[in-house]
């Protein structure tokens, strides 16, 4: 069965941290490819802060251009055109319907494991894919102490809880941490600071050319 990764996100903008996580997922779990999927209408985020889907798709296309095993998916872009909220459970069902023979691996930040029960139909999400929880290697190093003060033990406890409650397939995706975030990049653009090393050069050029993020949206 072909293994396909799903790297969803607002990608406002996409940056090198996203690419590093996707590459680690592809290598650690033998994924045939990773679909980069800009969210159409991310209902959990303030919409005024999010650039139009067409712009975020173009930045994503530029970021992954020429990288083997990476592909852009616009499956959630249609939701934006129809002004519909984007829900992971619905996206997974569409993918499974279109390619029922594929095994899907949904990549998310480990912190999302503590909030995923607040998402729409979490049981359907767990039925449709293996969840890969990305966490920085230094955050999961062995430490002494109780569960509440130990990130690794707390993460293991939450993972086991989800496995038992939903019969979920949840795996830990470890990666070397990068000190970069989309919020940081937007702030650096507004302050006129360098973006070197934070995102692909083609994406930076696109941001500069179109004067994105220079003012508050």
Region for residue 86 given its phi and psi (left: phi exceeds 0; alpha: psi -120 to 50; beta: otherwise): beta
pTM for the full model?
0.90
Which residues lie closer than 8 Å to 116 by C-beta, 6 or more apart?
Answer: 108, 122, 125, 131, 162
Instruction: List 4's β-bridge partners, or say none.
Output: 33, 104
Q: State pLDDT tens for residues 57-85.
A: 999 999 999 999 999 999 998 877 677 78
Quick one: 161 exposed, middle or buried, by C-beta within 10 A (0-12, 13-18, 19+)?
Answer: middle
Per-residue model confidence (pLDDT) at position 142 = 46
Question: CA Rg, the chain, in Å?
Answer: 17
* 178 band by pLDDT with thresholds 50, 70 and 90: confident
Average pLDDT of the chain, as a whole number: 90
Per-residue model confidence (pLDDT) at position 119 = 96
d(CA 36, CA 135): 19
206 pLDDT above the threshold of 50: yes
Alpha carbon 78 to its chain's center: 18
Q: State pLDDT tens for residues 29-54.
A: 999 999 999 998 665 555 567 899 99
Per-residue model confidence (pLDDT) at position 208 = 97
92 pLDDT above the threshold of 90: yes
Classify residue 84 by its DSSP letter: P
Per-residue model confidence (pLDDT) at position 152 = 85
170 pLDDT above the threshold of 60: yes
Kindly report the CA angle at 141 between 177 and 118, in degrees rounded to 5?
Answer: 70
Per-residue model confidence (pLDDT) at position 147 = 45
CA torsion angle for 50, 53, 54, 55 (degrees, to 10)? Answer: 30
Nearest to 212 by CA among 54, 64, 87, 93: 54
* 15 band by pLDDT with thresholds 50, 70 and 90: very high
Q: Strands 103-109 and 3-9: what pairing?
A: parallel
């Amino acid at each position: 069965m072909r293994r396909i990764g799903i790297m969803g996100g607002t990608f406002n903008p996409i940056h090198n941290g996203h690419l590093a996580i996707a590459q680690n997922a592809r290598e650690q779990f033998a994924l045939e490819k990773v679909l980069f999927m800009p969210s159409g209408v991310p209902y959990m985020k303030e919409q005024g802060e999010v650039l139009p889907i067409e712009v975020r798709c173009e930045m994503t296309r530029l970021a992954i251009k020429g990288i083997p095993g990476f592909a852009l998916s616009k499956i959630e872009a249609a939701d934006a055109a129809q002004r519909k909220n984007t829900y992971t459970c619905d996206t997974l069902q569409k993918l499974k319907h279109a390619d029922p023979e594929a095994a899907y691996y949904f990549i998310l930040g480990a912190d999302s494991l503590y909030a995923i029960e607040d998402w729409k139909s979490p049981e359907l999400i767990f039925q449709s894919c293996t969840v890969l929880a990305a966490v920085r290697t230094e955050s999961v190093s062995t430490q002494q102490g109780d569960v509440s003060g130990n990130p690794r033990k707390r993460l293991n406890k939450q993972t086991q809880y989800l496995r038992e409650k939903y019969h979920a397939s949840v795996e830990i995706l470890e990666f070397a941490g990068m000190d970069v975030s989309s919020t940081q990049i937007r702030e650096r653009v507004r302050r006129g600071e360098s973006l070197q090393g934070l995102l692909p050069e083609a994406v930076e050029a696109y941001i500069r050319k179109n004067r994105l993020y220079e003012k508050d949206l």
